[in-house]
Amino acid sequence: MTKVLVTGANGFIGSHLVDRLLEKNYEVTALIRETSRLGWLKNKPIRMITGDVRFPDTLPDAVKDQDAIFHVAGVINGKNYSDYADTNHTGTKNLMNAILKYNPNVQKVIYLSSLSTGGPTTPDHPLTEADPSNPLTAYGKTKYAGERAVLDLHNRLNVIAIRPPVVYGARDLGTLGFFQLVSRHVRINLGFRDRYVTMIHVSDLVDAIILPIETETKSGEFYYVSDGTPNRTWLGLQKIIAEALGIWTLKLKVPLTPLFLYASVMHGYQLLTGIKPRINLTRYRLLTQHAWTCDCTKIMTELGYKPKITLEKGIFDTVEWYRQIGWI
Ligand SMILES: NC(=O)c1ccc[n+]([C@@H]2O[C@H](COP(=O)([O-])OP(=O)(O)OC[C@H]3O[C@@H](n4cnc5c(N)ncnc54)[C@H](OP(=O)(O)O)[C@@H]3O)[C@@H](O)[C@H]2O)c1
């Protein structure tokens, strides 16, 4: 049995990863914070170690004696730059230093990166690994710095990064608001042109994250991953959600100028109060890019990745799960 450490194990993606690793008989250790909610890990046969990647002293016990390490922990919804940087960049460096010091012979380290590290693109060019990385947001920049902190060690450790686009599925709070909006009979487009996005169901993502420890890989590589269809329009995606919900919806095109003014006001409000609103200028820039898309050919050809969950099935299952738990 292979011993693996999962950071971020109690979160949306981390908890699905833990479930799959247990199904596959891995011996799982979870790095958990004192404040972490443990609902998705309840009654699971795993070893838990309390630690926080921001604090190096809390990491040695977690990394020691592991055959592989999945670094999934990350801040996806920080209040300011240092919120993101402290965990996504400095925290990742701390973890890598602990691995170098306490487990330099670990077989593989997998970093869960993000499409945000590549940055936005145009609909005719879903990002590939050959494209330069141009992160746009604090999240993207700090995830990229974290990715570099891992991949730059490629001569000393066996390291791989996976860059997922938007991830959805049961337990996800990140895309929940989007499902809730559609459940109120509204489908929204920002501006008057189509905007594009790539998606992946968490089950396919978990396959892609485990694949590098079950396959020969070249240290230092990174891979985009997706459901195999690079270009989805936001409106098309919302239509599939509406169909899964079995409801009618009104299509609403929101003009960008008033939205920009509103985002500016809310940005000022955040600077004054420290309270993060639903939309600020950062989020406005993020949401109004023409395309956040990527191509997963490299991981398919090099590692044999094969997406199994179509968007229609994945959305249907997610709606069912949200309904059962009462989130929509
Ligand atoms: N969701 C997506 O669409 C998406 C797309 C691309 C990449 N990703 C990446 O996937 C990873 C997991 O995201 P998610 O969607 O599962 O988010 P999530 O549910 O918020 O999970 C984040 C996890 O990271 C842990 N964490 C945060 N700061 C930490 C710290 N300083 N030390 C130790 N653990 C810490 C959290 O623990 P607490 O519960 O204690 O806060 C939680 O377990 C992130 O690295 C993110 O960048 C996500």
Model confidence pLDDT, tens digit, residues 140-168: 999 999 999 999 999 999 999 999 999 99
Instruction: State the DSSP code for 122.
Output: B
State the angle between helix axes of 92-102 and 138-151 in degrees (0 to 180), rounded to the nearest 10: 10
Residue 70 falls within a domain, yes or no? yes
Model confidence pLDDT, tens digit, residues 24-48: 999 999 999 999 999 999 999 999 9
Cβ(120) – ligand 1 distance below 6 Å: no
- CA-closest candidate to residue 70, choices 142, 24, 120, 13: 13
Q: Which residue has the tokens 């809310």?
A: 266
Question: How many other C-beta atoms can be found within 10 angstroms of the C-beta atom of residue 55?
Answer: 11
Ligand 1: which residue has its CA nearest to atom 38? 36
Residue 8 falls within a domain, yes or no? yes
Residue 222 falls within a domain, yes or no? yes
Q: Which residue has the tokens 């590098």?
A: 212
Q: State which residues form the domain around 71.
A: 3-175+198-231+292-309
Element (H, E) at 319: helix 311-325
Rounded-to-integer distance, Cα 250 and Cα 258, Å: 20
Residue 216 belongs to a domain with what CATH number? 3.40.50.720
Mutate to test the pocket of ligand 1, among 28, 32, 33, 70 (most ligand atoms within 8 A of CB): 33
Find out whether 247 and 184 touch, Cβ atoms under 8 Å: no
Residue 109 falls within a domain, yes or no? yes
Residue 108 falls within a domain, yes or no? yes
Q: Which atom of ligand 1 is nearest to the CA of 54?
A: 31
Distance between Cα 169 and ligand 1 center (Å): 15
Find out whether 64 and 74 touch, Cβ atoms under 8 Å: no
Rounded-to-integer distance, Cα 307 and Cα 325, Å: 26
Cβ(114) – ligand 1 distance below 6 Å: yes
Residue 169 falls within a domain, yes or no? yes
Q: Which atom of ligand 1 is nearest to the CA of 33?
A: 40
> Could you give the number of structural domains in the chain?
1
Q: Quick one: tokens of 20? A: 């799959």
Rounded-to-integer distance, Cα 137 and Cα 132, Å: 16
Residue 134: pLDDT band by 50, 70, 90 thresholds? Answer: very high
Cβ(91) – ligand 1 distance below 6 Å: yes
pLDDT of 278: 87
Residue 1: pLDDT band by 50, 70, 90 thresholds? Answer: low
Q: What is the mean pLDDT of residues 182-198?
A: 95
Residue 260 falls within a domain, yes or no? no
Sequence-ordered alpha helix ranges (H) in 159-233: 176-183, 202-214
Ligand 1: which residue has its CA nearest to atom 36? 8
Cβ(18) – ligand 1 distance below 6 Å: no
The one-letter amino acid at 144? Y
Cβ(73) – ligand 1 distance below 6 Å: yes
224 exposure class (CB count in 10 Å sphere: 0-12, 13-18, 19+)? buried
